[in-house]
Structure 1
Amino acid sequence: MIRNFWVLFCVLAISPLGHGQTPPASAELAVDHVKLIKSLDAAAMKRGEALYSSMCVVCHGTPERPGTLPSSRAFWKEPFKNGGDLHGIYRTLTHGLGLMPPWPMLTPVQRYEVAHYLREQMVKPTNPAAYTVVTEDYLAKLPKPQGVFVETAAMKEFKQGPKYLRMDFGPALMWTLEAAPGNIAYKGIAVRLDEGAGGVTKGRAWMLYDHDTMRVAAAWAGEAFVDWRGIAFDGSHGTHTKIVGATAFVNPDQPGWSHPAKGGYADERILGLDQKPYGPLPRPWMRYEGLSHHGQRVVLHFSIGTTKLLESPGCEVRDGKLVFTRTLEVGPGDTPLEMRIAPQAQRVTSDGGQLAVVGDFQVLRLPARKESQRITVRIESAVKAPAGLKPLTPPSELGALTRGAPPQWAVGLPATNGPKMIGDGIEADTLDFPAAATNPWRTQWRLGGLDFFADGRRMAVCTWMGDVWLVDGFDTGQVTWRRIAAGLNQPLGLKIVDDVIHVTCRDQLVVLRDLNGDGETDFYECFNSDHQVTEHFHEFAMGLQTDAAGDFYYAKSARHAKPPLVPQHGTLLRVKKDGSRTEIVANGFRAANGVCVNDDGSFYVTDQEGHWTPKNRINLVRQGGFYGNMWSYGAPKDSGDGAMQQPIVWLTNGFDRSPGELVRLTPKSWAPLQDKLIDISYGMGRMNLILQDESDSAQGASVAMPMGDFPTGVMRGRFHPATGDLYTCGMAVWASNKIQEGGLYRVRRVASPLHLPIAWRTAPGSITVTFSEPLEKVSAEDLSHFTLKVWGLQRSEKYGSAHLNERPLTITQAKIAADTRSITLTIPELAPAQGLELKCTLTSSDGQTFTRIIHATIHRLAQPSSPPLPR
């Protein structure tokens, strides 16, 4: 269930229970357990099956099909950790257990229905030892109800259904969509063609483009937009989204325009290892340049050869049937052009150019032109127009729609600060999202990136569901949120360069252009579309940073549990400053959640446990390196550990089950942590300090920052340009201990002790740890205040690794240095270890007792000889 807490995040409201808490004690006390258990019948089992299928099956699986997360319990053959009886399973769903958080949005009835289905359909037939019979004696021992049960806000919100069904995505949605079996628009742009509120998904007629080829992949109509399958919608793994309804026509996954110099449609895209074409057509042939919003009208910008074109789709109703339109403005050009319209069987008309049949398709031929030409092509269909459908007003001039538009989302929504978190030497504030009641677009607040404008007054944030919001008022404390862009394809990185917003999306790097100064995006400029996209759910494009030369960097995930198909699978990528090309920096990654750029040309990149990745990794990355995942493209033939670059540290699940982006604490306000690295942990909702070994910078340690956890997974960080405060954001979807949909936080150093390890050094037979403040000598030299254990890992094709040969090591001496901040531990048996945990409970010189847990990796034990640490 951990990896697929999906519907939970689709529907969980920003409410007290949205902060990862269990239901209120008063609500639980009022539950009549006996009554609910006695009411369980075949209908309840059916409802429990539906909940299990939508929320649990992806990770836990079924007896017929294992789940995708091997560490998730296989109920049909394994014992339960918290009791396999009905009330035991209910308690686990209510309060959580270990890495599994609670499910506060499920009513008690729903929790028992899931338990009922699980026990009767999976446990009883195949795992009878874990099955307990419900008897009157069992029921008599259950808690008795006290008071009247009242549903919480989270439970009421859950009953409204998934948030993605209610969200307004804007007039177009860029997404990977299947147009027909085996025919996928990998970089799809779905455009609504009829008037009405609610955005593209609430329409009833659409046209789907693919900007890899600038083909129209399909046109369709109906009461439903898509089937809502896919990782960002229903949370399913191994699926992708398909259009539904009545399809008017479909074009194959081939170029939409003939080659401007050679003629013909012979595809020149790269071939994946499955021999299918991926990525964009070569730039001399075609280049997608972006799209404009103007009210509900969408205009696409692209070039064929040297000819600039604009296109806007639409529809008409004729004799009760839909006619789909493509309105084009074709710029001057010395080269004739040819556009594939639809299969030959479609009836097509045009008010310009020449229609012809080439092969199995209707095409439009355009001779060379000295002046721009406006043409409307009409494609008739047998699709019945949905009742009440009102087509968009036909455009009189496309160019006029591309120079700035009236704002669609002009309202600034107020928000307040939420709970404060106070730690040792660190405080954090919650920046709440606008109240759901004030947000007409029903945004899902899964934040994927953030950055400040130069004035420090404004910040931009992106959401995984395709929005970009402007957060204004950091100078006054009266913060407002304004939506400025929508419909992007799973953006998971954002960088502001020269006060211009750049966004990492699954299909492209996008620059948001406000052409008329009203604060809203008019033109979604395609800065770079070299992305090689397949339909696989796991190939996220994450993070966005720049180096001193102005080049951009992001990480592209590999496929989950499958070999690679395209060269970008499992890589760190560099996009040149002008957007002209993309280069592979390094490979061997599985799910690298962002990137940190160092001054010396190296990088820090994290990675996630999985196949060929026995535990989570903190990597120091250099050009050309391979970092372990044999299912990334370009992996060496040798699968041995010696063929890969080792991580600085392996992080075990209990310490950090899913590291996010690394950030260097550059502001002076963060002393004594200035210039050190922190891991912003998606999996644990916290921040960890990374300590590179002062004897060997290729290895190191990690320790949690002295503060509590955030209620959501966090993964990105930016510093306020004036205050130096760190702002961090993130979300929780799967593989996180947290359940709140998303969050935005301000973290700052305050004038109190940290009580934190800030330096780490290994040597033959010893470890030296330096703390941020002086320590009390007696406590620091008391061996009972330390425990140390080590373990190994097995890297293989299997998912993750158990701790191998985990064992304690004896510390024979603890000696505090003259600075009273450094402790050297003598450990005669110390040897290289993939995993090491040092737990210490110490007292500072001012009398404060604290416990710190350090996780580390030791590749070598040698005298200091490594180069200076990268920064």
Structure 2
Amino acid sequence: MVTHKLLQVVCLSIVIAASGSFWTSASAEDENDYYRIVSIATPESQSESRDPNWKPSDDGIALEVSGIAVLSPSRVAVAIRKGEVWLLDDVDRVTGEGETANSVSYHRFANALHEPLGLLQQDESLITVQRTEMTRMRDTNGDEVADVYETVASGWGVSGHYHEYAYGPKADGDGNLWMTLNIGMGLKGEQLTKIIPDAPFGYLQAAWRGWGMKLDADGNLSPVCAGMRSPSGLGANAEGDMFYTDQQGNWVATNSLNHMRPGAFFHHAESLASMNLPESTIHGVEEIPNGVAFPEAVKRFPQMQPPAVWFPYKKAGQSATDIMLEKSDGGFGPFAGQLFVGEFTQAAINRVFLEKVNGEYQGACFPFRRGFASAVLRMAQAEDGSVYVGLTNRGWSSLGTSPYGLQRLMWTGKTPFEIQQMRSKPDGFELVFTRPVDIKSAGDVRSYQMSSHTYLYQSSYGSDEVLGRELTIEEAIVSEDGLRVRLKVDGLRELFVHELNAHGIRDAAGNSLLHRKAFYTLNRIPR
């Protein structure tokens, strides 16, 4: 689902080896003490699938998971890239190593779909976004096979370019369904007959490419916001607001998490090809700055909104994917209400803490769990708090031992020593920990290092970190309960990423942090 330069593919292992600083304070084995990964086997024969109507290929099911919906404690539905939806029963029985395909039964619910890239349960139906439409699938005769395929929404432009993916849907807090549309890259030949004529700035794109779309309760599909490159992940936070992730490339400095709302523009300038269409929510863009530092670009480009969170490239992943809200209320550890973001290249999951400052979202990203068998593309949480993780490295290479699969991530019940939250303050940051800290180490400013940087906004591929600066931590004040540390920091800068390394922190028992790094995107300093 993700495409990048061939050079990056060739150098993948070198890049990962050279960029391990985000993970250096914890190994996959350490993480396994707290969050265990369990593989769900895929059947290789008709008898193993328990589906009498299935005639598999010689290689069994290619479980390139592109969508997941948890239907009950024991049943999960998965969409796969080749255009099918499967029902998996007894998945809750897979709790440890050594499980076989016979532990889970597979039943094909739907087929003949065109590259479904999401899955959502609504009432008694399943909804997916195919390349050209949002589709509702229903079983009306009780045989657990879809016999009605209903077009719920359509109308966006498709030129035939391979990169014109369509993702979703996900529901917001009001029940609206959201989807995102990939930009087309380097259109040519017959594809050019499908582009918007006389588009602004001469951009060559089909209608609404690079936009986020919303389907309301009345069935109206409308464009909401723009500037997306490869927005393969979307999801709502605890307040019901919708976010999407984007991936580094032209116009996109590094991976990012963005708050979707009407009239917002984010990164990719070619999405402005649709700006003059009647339903556009973005108007009046006269200049697109190119090759300037991001804070300067925001000043010169008033329609452009900064990401809520930047994921520094290589340090915090290389291809952000799905967004999942942790809403188990304690079934998945001490991170309730936070967002988890899939990572394609590094076969991992990162964690995000968000807060609102002056009415806008910003926050910090943290490492969480690596070591999955392939690229993490989709995630869905079960009622018991465990998380089903859909894998496929189709389109680009990733770490891991398999090209695709389905795994389950389970909390062991042990609480890791982590920075649970990182909050901005007028003179620095407040760190909240999952366990009480050792007062001596936490109160020593030498236990911390902090720096800040930003990026270039430019049409070329990605951006290095620019305008970097080491910051001075003047004071570290520990709360009486040992769960909070207030860092007073000299030199805070708005629209800069502030990188923290809490290398010297220990808990009350003398243990170091499982993950010592955090990256806070400081768009606004509280006043």
If the length of structure 2 is used for normalisation, what is the TM-score?
0.79
Task: Give distance in 2, aligned partners of 1:814 and 1:597.
Answer: 34
What is the CA deviation profile of residues 599-644 of structure 1, one whole-angstrom value per residue up to 9, with x for unaligned ones? Answer: 7663111111111111111111212211121111326333242320
1:641 to 293, 298, 301: 298
| Partner Cα distance (2:215, 2:524) in 1 | 35
Q: Of the candidates 507, 517, 521, which is equivalent to residue 146 of structure 2?
A: 521
Shift of 1:436: 7.4
Mapping of residues 435-474 of structure 1, within 5 Å: 435=44, 440-441=56-57, 442=59, 443-453=61-71, 455-474=72-91
Structure 1: distance between partners of 2:122 and 2:165: 23
Alignment of 1:845 onto 2:508: yes
Give, in whole Å, the separation in 2 of the partners of 1:541 and 1:801.
Answer: 26
Specify which structure has the bigger relative contact order, considering alpha-carbon pairs within 8 angstroms and separated by 6 or more residues: 2
Where does residue 378 of structure 1 map in the other structure?
A: none
Q: What code does the residue aligned with 2:254 have?
A: K
Q: In the alignment, which of 35, 40, 43 is matched to residue 426 of structure 1?
A: 35
Report the Cα distance in structure 1 between the residues aligned to 2:258 and 2:440, rounded to whole angstroms.
37
Residue in structure 1 matched with residue 313 of structure 2 by the alignment: 653
Contact persistence 2:9–2:396 (CA under 8 A): no
What's the secondary structure of 1:539's corresponding residue? coil
Partner Cα separation in structure 1 for residue 355 and residue 173 of structure 2: 27
For the pair 1:771 / 2:420, whether they are aligned, the reply is no
Kindly tell me: are residues 422 and 544 of structure 1, through their superposed partners in 2, closer, same or farther at Cα, counting changes over 3 Å? same
- Counterpart of 2:205 in structure 1 is 565
Name the structure 2 match of 1:807: 469
Distance in structure 1 (CA, Å) of the matches to 2:137 and 2:357: 46
1:451 alignment partner, SS class: strand
Please say if residues 236 and 325 of structure 2, whose CA atoms lie closer than 8 Å, have aligned partners that are also in contact.
no
CA distance in 2, matches of 1:3, 1:623: 28
Q: Structure 1 residue 496: deviation in Å?
A: 1.2
1:585 corresponds to: 224
Match of 2:497 in 1: 835
Q: CA separation of 1:458/1:638 partners in 2, compared to 1, >3 Å: closer, same or farther?
A: same
Q: Does the residue aligned with 2:263 lie in a helix, a strand or coil?
A: coil
What amino acid maps onto 2:110 in structure 1?
A
Residues 177 and 216 in structure 2, CA contact (< 8 A), matched pair in contact too: yes
Counterpart in the other structure of 2:279: none
Kept in 1, the 8 Å contact 2:393–2:403? The answer is yes
Report if the CA contact (8 A) 2:173-2:239 is conserved.
no
Structure 2 gaps of 5+ residues are 19-27, 49-54, 95-102, 188-202, 276-281, 289-296
Displacement of 1:515: 4.1
Q: Aligned with 1:827: secondary structure?
A: strand
1:532 partner SS:
coil
1:391-413 deviation per Cα after TM superposition (whole angstroms, max 9, x unaligned): xxxxxxxxxxxxxxxxxxxxxxx
Q: Which amino acid aligns with 2:32?
A: G
Q: Tell me how far 1:716 sits from its aligned partner.
A: 2.3
Aligned-pair CA distance for 1:774? 0.7
| Gap change, CA 1:544 and 1:832, over 3 Å in 2 | same
**Structure 1 alignment gaps of length 5 or more:** 5-57, 61-70, 74-91, 102-418, 864-871
Displacement, 1:72? 7.1
Q: Deviations over 1:724-782 (max 9, x none)?
A: 32222132134564253223222233321221212222234422211111111222233
Compute the TM-score of the two structures, normalised by the length of structure 1: 0.49
Q: How does 1:266-665 map to 2 (within 5 A)?
A: 423=32, 425-435=34-44, 440-441=56-57, 442=59, 443-453=61-71, 455-474=72-91, 478-547=103-172, 549-560=174-185, 563-577=203-217, 580-598=219-237, 602-632=241-271, 633-634=274-275, 636-639=285-288, 640-642=297-299, 643=302, 644-654=304-314, 655-665=316-326
Q: Name the SS of the counterpart of 1:711 in structure 2.
A: coil
CA gap 1:766/1:529 in 2 versus in 1, 3 angstroms? closer
Alpha-carbon distance in structure 2 between the residues aligned to 1:766 and 1:753: 27
CA contact (8 A) 1:426 1:754 kept: no
RMSD (Å) for aligned C-alpha atoms: 2.9
Contact map agreement 2:432 2:484 (CA 8 A) in 1 = yes
What per-residue deviation string (whole Å, max 9, x for no partner) do you get for residues 154-196 of structure 1? xxxxxxxxxxxxxxxxxxxxxxxxxxxxxxxxxxxxxxxxxxx
Secondary structure (helix, strand or coil) at the match of 1:631 reads helix
Larger Rg: 1
Residues 564/824 of structure 1: CA separation in 2 closer, same or farther (3 Å cut): farther
Structure 1 residue matching 2:15: 3-state secondary structure: coil
Kindly state the Cα deviation for residue 493 of structure 1 after the two structures are TM-superposed.
0.3
Tell me the secondary structure at the aligned position of residue 441 of structure 2.
Answer: helix
Within a 5 Å distance, the mapping from 1:131-150 to structure 2 comes to none
* More off after superposition, 531-540 vs 688-697: 688-697
Give 3-state SS (helix, strand or coil) of 2:14's partner. coil
Q: Secondary structure at the match of 2:472?
A: coil
**Alpha-carbon deviation of 1:450?**
0.7
Structure 1 residue 645, shift from structure 2 partner? 0.9
